[in-house]
Structure 1
Amino acid sequence: MRANNVLGIIHSQAFDSTIQELTTMRTFASVPFGCRYRFVDFPLSNMVNAGVTEVGIITKENYQSLMDHIGSGKPWDLARKREGLYILPPYNTSSASAAGYKNRVEAIYANMDFLRHSRHEYVVITDSNAVYNFDFNDLFEFHTEQEADITVAYKHGKLPKLENMQILTLDDNKRVTDVSINADEPGEVDYSFNIYVMRKSLLEYLVKTSVAHSSTSFAKDIIQANVDSLKIVGFEIPGFAAMIDSLKTYYNVSMELLEPENRKALLNAKNPIATKIADNVPTLYGENSKAGNSLIADGCTIEGTVENSLLFRGVVVEKGAVVRNSILMQGTVIHANAKVDSIITDKNVTITANRNLSGDPSYPIYFTKNIVV
């Protein structure tokens, strides 16, 4: 099984409701992360780095920012005459209204023509609410070596608080022998990362069968229901990987990037995470500025103090201002002598002079896009 025989499918909005603060006007796939990236960059880059040459991104609403970010797909070498990158918006079908799809099965069923027209024999399916960086060729080779019908990429750890999360029971040969859904399990478990590999023909059959029986849960009706009839195996994701299930988790995972080992695992030259290119000047640091244990993107102006924080492009921290334990998205301005701690600002937020705003790492305060505080 070679990557150039694999079609990529990315669901851009499967978990929008988990961080409604950040997805009111955008898809989960286009939520900013890590000072310069969007969540879609991670599945897309992992696919392309492995050699996948055709990717469809399924979306349903509020996808203008997603389209603006991915453009023609050039940063991922997907601006091609043949194949390349496709945005798959909703349209009326018997199982999906113009308002969008209810679940993954409906979304795939509505885009069945896209699957049929692809020359590829296999398909890899992902969501957009997670960050990871590993060689998808290892996943594809594992699928072939195991002679599997379906391969599920999984992680061992605490179960994220998301709908239809699958806890996998695996035997010594990595075959999935049981799947529990929405189980309240204490401690650490092996849980699906919602990355799947299978033959395209099998996916088409399973989706059609599910829709015909009005059973359209991917977790229950595609995976759990076929544990005995199909050979489903688990591939453990190596290295740093995290799934976002709340604004608090978004904050915590972002802060984990301040640890060098996590940053090296997720953002490395061997498997680069590509993103939309923005030409910015280097960050300007004032004579009396202080910055420590922080990630600061290009195009910023720092004249105050920044500690334990992530600053996206074009952030301004004026003289006397103090930023601690915070995530400031593109265009945020912290005016003179303002002090902020444990906050998340969306794009183009202005914090006026002398303000003192403090949240807590366990409950960061979020400020919506374009507001003045």
Structure 2
Amino acid sequence: MNGKNVLGMIFANIHEETLESLTELRTMGSVPFCARYRLIDFPLSNMVESSITNVGVVTNANFNSLMDHVGTGKPWDLSRKTNGLHILPPYSRNSVTMWGNRIDAIYGNMGFLDHSTQEYVLMSDCYNLMNIDLSKVFDAHEKSEADITIVGVKAKKPVSFSNVLVFDKVADDGRILEASIDPDVETAFYSTNVVLIKKYLLEELVTAAHSKNKISFQRNILLESIKSKKVYSYDATDCFVGTIDSVQSYYDVSMSILDRKNKKKLFAKERPIYTKERDDMPTLYGMEADVKNSLVADGCVVKGTVENCILFKGVKIKEGAVVKNSILMQDTVIGENVKINYVIADKDCNIKSDVELSGAANYPVCISKGTKI
């Protein structure tokens, strides 16, 4: 199967409520990650690297930051006359209200589906970080003659979501025989919400579900389809998969990238991750700077101690400051003699001199965008 025959749909707002202050003014897709990226960069890059040339980004609210980041899609080579990148507006068909669920969102964009020339649709969310070769998913779908293929992973089940689809029984060829929604288990083979389906079938299932006022895509479409259609799984456990379902998991997944093995898996050379670039000067290190096991982006000024940290562009660490086990987003300023540990500081935060702020490994402190302390 050629990726050019697949239409991509990325849901930018799904489960954004789980990140609290980090998504107060932005979508899940535009949450900064790993010193220079946004969460939407990963599904978008995966699609582009698999030759998908037509992608719709489904938004709902707080999408100014998202629009500023993706723009016309030029960093992903999606700024083109035919196909390309489309921002899909947050209003349902014949309605002026925001979407309440995924079925609503797809039904509200039936016009986008109708006008596309692709035969298949690949849907993805932004809260699952992965670098996956989607062309292998396409080939597996075609080889099995499946109606629906769902990418899954065998790992600890997310606890903050109430609609996780778990594959309870899977045949040797990957066909899902039994599944359930949010069973009481600690580890499971669960869906990453990357779903490949024929366009006509998606339109048929969503229209039927919407007409009966059904609201759960997992329960009312995917789970019910297992009984009547050929629904297959694709095991992505070998890839790096980080599920972000809380501020704690955002912190844990981010810090896991400091491990070289995880970094190599997520940022595989053969499948690069693209993003909107902000040109900046090289990072400046002062005479007393001491930096260990950290990711430091361009444009930073480091004059203090930094250990086990992720610093985004434009971060300034002044003399005498000690920053450990923390994530500091774009243009945050840490004053002289400040001591912080286990902190997530959103963009443009300013922590003035002689402040001490500490969380814990299992409870990082999260500072909202633009906060001054």
Structure 2: distance between partners of 1:57 and 1:163 = 24
For residues 61-89 of structure 1, the C-alpha deviation after alignment (integer angstroms, 9 at most, x for no partner) is: 11000000001100000000111000001
- Paired residue secondary structure (1:228): helix
Q: Does 1:115 align with 2:117?
A: no
Structure 1 residue 358: deviation in Å?
Answer: 0.6
Asked if the contact 2:299/2:314 (under 8 Å) is kept, the reply is: yes
Give, as a single letter, the amino acid of the residue that structure 2 aligns with 1:268.
A
Asked if the contact 1:148/1:232 (under 8 Å) is kept, the reply is: yes
The partner residue of 2:146 within 142, 145, 148 is: 148
- Paired residue secondary structure (1:66): helix
Q: 1:259 aligns to what? A: 259
The number of residue pairs the alignment matches comes to: 370
Asked if the contact 1:122/1:199 (under 8 Å) is kept, the reply is: yes
Asked if the contact 2:12/2:28 (under 8 Å) is kept, the reply is: yes
Structure 1 residue 268: deviation in Å?
Answer: 2.5
Asked if the contact 2:154/2:189 (under 8 Å) is kept, the reply is: yes
For residues 283-307 of structure 1, the C-alpha deviation after alignment (integer angstroms, 9 at most, x for no partner) is: 0011110000000000000000000
Q: Does 1:69 align with 2:64?
A: no
Structure 1, unaligned stretches of length 5 or more? Answer: none
For residues 68-125 of structure 1, the C-alpha deviation after alignment (integer angstroms, 9 at most, x for no partner) is: 000110000000011100000122535xx53411111100000000000000000100
What TM-score does the superposition give when structure 2 sets the normalisation length?
A: 0.98
Structure 1: distance between partners of 2:179 and 2:360 = 37
Structure 1 residue 215: deviation in Å?
Answer: 1.4
For residues 196-225 of structure 1, the C-alpha deviation after alignment (integer angstroms, 9 at most, x for no partner) is: 001101100000111111113110111111
Deviating above 2 A after TM superposition, structure 1's stretches of 4 or more consecutive aligned residues are 91-94
Structure 1 residue 128: deviation in Å?
Answer: 0.9
Structure 2, unaligned stretches of length 5 or more? Answer: none
Structure 2: distance between partners of 1:234 and 1:150 = 8
Structure 2: distance between partners of 1:134 and 1:232 = 20
Asked if the contact 2:291/2:307 (under 8 Å) is kept, the reply is: yes
Asked if the contact 1:60/1:99 (under 8 Å) is kept, the reply is: no
Percent identity, aligned pairs only, is 44
Backbone CA RMSD of aligned residues: 0.9
Q: 1:222 aligns to what? A: 221
Structure 1: distance between partners of 2:246 and 2:96 = 27
What TM-score does the superposition give when structure 1 sets the normalisation length?
A: 0.98
Q: 2:131 aligns to what? A: 133
Structure 1: distance between partners of 2:317 and 2:306 = 8
- Paired residue secondary structure (1:207): helix
Structure 1 residue 160: deviation in Å?
Answer: 0.6
Q: 2:323 aligns to what? A: 323
